[in-house]
Structure 1
Amino acid sequence: MKVKKVLELSVDVTDIFRESPLVIRAMVDTLPTLDSQVAFLRAIHQDVETLLKGVVTNGEPVRESGGQQKDK
């Protein structure tokens, strides 16, 4: 018999900043190996970097994570 793991998430979007890390941790915990967990987190990181490109806050481009912001 094959057992299938099912993940059901319920997220309160009124506090998405608090809930997001909990959701990501829950999803990572369902992955069977450390390699698959790292690959998943790297994919999320790449998605975030892609979404941040071109984003401007207060007239300034958003600094990409992992990089150094240049002094003016």
Structure 2
Amino acid sequence: MSIDSDTIDFHVVINDEQQYSIWPAYRPVPAGWRTVGVTAPRAQCLAYIEEHWTDMRPATLRAQMDGTAAGTH
């Protein structure tokens, strides 16, 4: 089974830094990642990510730059 196959489904996954990725649905989701509820062919998953992941910065960096990180005043 090829990872580039259009016949296998993927999960859209997200980590604690709010970074997205795709993961083959037939494999266990790795530690530190969780599914967002989308399981579909690769192209559909990537389209979901493109629509929802609008800020590529990790969540901690966004918080720090916005002055909302813990201990930042």
- TM-score, normalisation: structure 2: 0.30
Larger Cα-atom Rg: 1
User: Does 1 or 2 have the higher relative contact order (CA < 8 Å, sep 6+)?
Assistant: 2
Larger relative helix fraction: 1
Larger relative strand fraction: 2
- TM-score, normalisation: structure 1: 0.30
